[in-house]
Amino acid sequence: MNAPADSRLTQALQRAQDRGARQAEVVHALQAVLPAHALLYTLEDTVPYECDGLTAYRERPLCVALPETEDQVQGVLRACHLLDVPVVARGAGTGLSGGAMPHALGVTLSLAKFNRILSIDPLAQTAVVQAGVRNLAISEAAAPHGLYYAPDPSSQIACTIGGNVAENSGGVHCLKYGLTVHNILQVRGYTIEGEPVTFGGTALDAPGLDLLAVLIGSEGMLAVTTEVTVKLVPKPQLARCIMASFDDVRKAGEAVAAVIAAGIIPAGLEMMDGPMTVAVEDFVHAGYDLNAAAILLCESDGTPEEVEEEIGRMSEVLRAAGATAIAVSRDEAQRLRFWSGRKNAFPASGRISPDYMCMDSTIPRKRLADILEAIAGMERKYGLKCLNVFHAGDGNLHPLILFDANDPDQLHRCELFGADILETSVAMGGTVTGEHGVGVEKLNSMCVQFSPEENEQMFGLKRAFDTKGLLNPGKVIPTLHRCAEYGKMLVRAGQIKHPDLPRF
């Protein structure tokens, strides 16, 4: 009667012994290239690295390498390649899709000590920074020159430029100024074999294939970034922000499309639904309208004359679209208060729920109201609350599903809820990700968006850089077997409902 239990115990003990032997082998190899203080492998030292911002999924690495020089990075990669050890590069760990979750039999390679700003060229309007430099630190260093780095994710106070490169991060001002890919000139780093590589260049264009665009957003699967050359832009003379209230989410969604259709490209165009507005206002007291079903934040920047004209035009469009109230920031302090609410949407949600899962899909702007109404139906279907905030200007959604990770049933329903949002976005003509990456969170939904042939093309690109598949394995690109199993699961659960989506 106890035979199955004894067998499982024996297998578990064998796995532990195998892991211990493998760890000893890897640690011994890395001790030859790293000083003792730059290599962590005890339980208490490695547990802090077991997840990124997606805390629902955790794994403890064999060890954590914290190199301080490029020679040490190269040495770690060469040793891991020789031993066939997976490597997961990590920045600040603020990612939200599990992209930096460790491999159980791999090395987590932290670039946290690569935190120096190497140079700022105010004439060329560029900065050369190491991969572990915080996003906001670049703008702080460039401020005396009247310059700043435009992409501004909500986590910019903590997230690193290397992580931004891996995820192709955006931010509230990405509509006008672009994503990371539009603001990077050059990336230096190393392949899994320890070969130094440079993508892009310091000129306006680089000869040959545009591999810089391939690397940015590749989630650490192609190379390990150590140094980045970023573009800087002049700080505008003035910026003002409109807070527009709507009594209906559909009117707010249609107002977004109306602003763009009027030929206006705001510096920022963000939307929050009523429940998110209430959560944020209780946290930061930004002055939001708590009676609104949704609010829009629309910013204009430039010369005083340009801002005055654009604020006037946007106000007219918003009123015509059904805005019930419009408030324009009187000064810089009030503008920052308006944005402080949007920037603190995630921590505000964390105050009212034990856990949340922040989804990240993109849809055509004209479908904003449709997806919000669909999400409201999903709340009832899965029995979980969802707060909505997103980069409305480019249709990048960030629904935050509230749940308790200590309840396995809630976690399961949250996963189904999130997949439903992603796959409904695809059915509406969108994509399963905008700026948070795929990681482990969206692997199954990638099966819905892309065909087996398309996934194989992506695997082919990865093999060109990483023949053994050691850099961040098991992420981003789903295997054919995984897609087949996911398809069977959806059929059994009766979840397949979009006849126009690809079949597995």
Tens digits of residue pLDDT in 334-361: 999 999 999 999 899 999 999 999 999 9
Alpha-carbon torsion angle 476, 479, 484, 485, nearest 10: -70
Distance in angstroms (rounded) separating the CA atoms of residues 31 and 47:
20
Alpha-carbon torsion angle 123, 125, 130, 136, nearest 10: 130
Please report, as a single letter, which amino acid is at residue 208: G
Question: What is residue 226's DSSP assignment?
Answer: E
Contact 236, 301 (CB under 8 A): yes
284 pLDDT above the threshold of 70: yes
Share of the chain above pLDDT 90, in %: 88
Q: Which residue in the block uniquely carries the two structure tokens 């391939």? A: 214
Over residues 91-116, mean pLDDT: 97
Tens digits of residue pLDDT in 413-453: 999 999 999 999 999 999 999 999 999 999 999 999 999 99
Residues of the chain with CATH 3.30.43.10: 14-110
| Fold category of 14-110 in CATH | 3.30.43
CB atoms closer than 10 angstroms to residue 491: 11
Over residues 231-251, mean pLDDT: 97
Q: Model confidence at 279, in pLDDT bands (50, 70, 90)?
A: very high
Mean pLDDT value across the chain: 94
State the CATH class of domain 238-347.
Answer: alpha beta
Distance in angstroms (rounded) separating the CA atoms of residues 453 and 372:
32
Residues of the chain with CATH 3.30.465.10: 120-234
CB hemisphere CA count around 230 (13 angstroms): 33
For residue 459, give both structure tokens: 């695997």
Residues of the chain with CATH 3.30.70.3450: 238-347
> What residues form DSSP beta bridges with 238?
302
pLDDT at position 497: 53
pLDDT at position 504: 46
Q: CA nearest 413: which of 436, 384, 437, 440?
A: 384
5 pLDDT above the threshold of 80: no
Question: What is residue 436's DSSP assignment?
Answer: S
For residue 235, give both structure tokens: 């700080």
Sign of CA dihedral 329, 176, 213, 462: positive
215 pLDDT above the threshold of 50: yes
CATH assignment of 353-493, among 2.170.150.20, 3.30.70.2740, 3.40.50.261, 3.30.200.20: 3.30.70.2740
Distance in angstroms (rounded) separating the CA atoms of residues 498 and 238:
47
Q: Model confidence at 495, in pLDDT bands (50, 70, 90)?
A: low
Helix axes 304-320, 249-261, angle to 10 degrees: 130
Distance in angstroms (rounded) separating the CA atoms of residues 368 and 386:
15
Sign of CA dihedral 103, 104, 107, 113: positive
Q: Which residue in the block uniquely carries the two structure tokens 């009594």? A: 247
Distance in angstroms (rounded) separating the CA atoms of residues 338 and 280:
11
503 pLDDT above the threshold of 50: no
Distance in angstroms (rounded) separating the CA atoms of residues 138 and 144:
11
Over residues 158-164, mean pLDDT: 98
Q: Tell me the residue ranges of DSSP E strands in 76-181.
A: 87-90, 107-110, 117-121, 126-130, 147-148
Q: Model confidence at 324, in pLDDT bands (50, 70, 90)?
A: very high
Distance in angstroms (rounded) separating the CA atoms of residues 422 and 99:
17
pLDDT at position 494: 67
Over residues 74-93, mean pLDDT: 98
Share of the chain above pLDDT 70, in %: 97
> What residues form DSSP beta bridges with 398?
389
> What residues form DSSP beta bridges with 270?
297
Distance in angstroms (rounded) separating the CA atoms of residues 382 and 291:
26
Distance in angstroms (rounded) separating the CA atoms of residues 247 and 256:
15
Question: What is residue 2's DSSP assignment?
Answer: -
Q: Whole-structure pTM over 0.85, yes or no?
A: yes
Q: CA nearest 131: which of 70, 78, 86?
A: 70
pLDDT at position 444: 95
Distance in angstroms (rounded) separating the CA atoms of residues 381 and 353:
19
Over residues 245-273, mean pLDDT: 95
Tens digits of residue pLDDT in 22-56: 999 999 999 999 999 999 999 999 999 999 999 99
pLDDT at position 498: 54
pLDDT at position 2: 67
pLDDT at position 176: 96
CB atoms closer than 10 angstroms to residue 303: 11
Secondary structure (3-state) at 224: strand
Q: Which long-range contacts (CB under 8 A, 24 or more apart) does 492-498 make?
A: 495/416, 495/419, 495/420, 498/423, 498/424, 498/426, 498/427
Distance in angstroms (rounded) separating the CA atoms of residues 316 and 328:
13
For domain 120-234, the CATH architecture is: 2-Layer Sandwich (3.30)
171 pLDDT above the threshold of 60: yes
